[in-house]
Amino acid sequence: MNGLFITFEGPDGSGKTSVIQQIVPRLERALGQSVVATREPGGSRIAETIRQVILNPEHTEMDARTEALLYAASRRQHITETILPALEGGEIVLCDRFVDSSLVYQGIGRGIGVEEVAEMNRFATEGLKPDVTLYLDVESEVGLERIKQNQGNRQYDRLDQETLAFHRQVREGYLTLLEKYPERITRIDANQSLADVVEDTWRQLEQFIAQHYASKEG
C-alpha cells in the first residue's frame, strides 16, 4: 500500500473532530490532492448503522463485551469499504478514532482487559495499524465541560452518560499507550485553544508527511 494512514485519538471533549475539519482543507491545499477524512464508529453505510446502535443513549443495558464486539464489527466494515481501498489507491486517510479507542474505552474503561480487546481487533483489522497517531490530550474535567457547553452543536450519545471517574480512566489509558508506543503516538496538548491545537497538529503533520515522502523518494 502506498497510502498514508493517520489516526486521531483523544478523550471526549479533546476537539478531534473540530481539528480534523480544519486540517483537511489545509492539507489538501498544501498537497494539491484530496484527503480521505473518516471516523469510527462509522465511515461506511453498514458501519454507520452499527454506530447508531452503539451510541444510542437509550441502550443503557448494553453489555460491555457486546459494545466491544460491535465496535470491532463496525471497524471491520469500515476498513474493507473505506480505509483499505483508499490506502491501496495511494491516498492519505485521516481517521477520527481507531483501535486505540477500543483499548482504552472498552479494555480499561469498561474493565474488559486491554489484551482481550486487542485480540478481537487483531481479528477485525488483520493487523492494519496507523502509520502515525496524533493523541489530543485533555484533562477530563476540561473535556467534559466543553461537551456541556457545546451540547447544542453535538449529538448526545450513550458515552456522555458516563461518570468523571470513567473518563479519567480513559485518559490514563491513553497516557499508558503513549508510553508504550512513542514511535507511533505523538501527544498534542488539547487543553489549549482550538486555534493553538490546530497549529500544533499541523506542525506535527507537516513533519511526518515530509519524512514519509522523503523515505519514498529514497
CATH code for the domain of 204: 3.40.50.300
Higher-confidence residue of 4 and 159: namely 4
Helix (H) or strand (E) holding 128: none
Q: Flag whether pLDDT at 53 surpasses 70.
A: yes
Q: Flag whether pLDDT at 123 surpasses 70.
A: yes
User: Cα–Cα distances in Å, from 212 out to 27, 132, 206?
Assistant: 15, 10, 10
Q: Flag whether pLDDT at 50 surpasses 90.
A: yes
What is the model's pLDDT at position 156? 61
Domain that residue 211 falls in: 4-217
pLDDT tens for each residue of 166-194: 999 999 999 999 999 999 999 999 999 99
Q: Flag whether pLDDT at 1 surpasses 70.
A: no
- Contact (CB, 8 A) for 64 and 106: yes
- How sure is the predictor about 148, in pLDDT bands with cuts at 50, 70 and 90? confident
Q: Output the nine-digit C-alpha cell for 20.
A: 480534523
The number of domains in the chain is 1
- How sure is the predictor about 159, in pLDDT bands with cuts at 50, 70 and 90? confident
Which of 12-16, 57-61, 156-160 is predicted least confidently? 156-160
Buried b (16+ CB within 10 A) or exposed e, 109-140: bbebebeebeebbeebbeebebbbbbbbbbbb
What is the model's pLDDT at position 154? 62
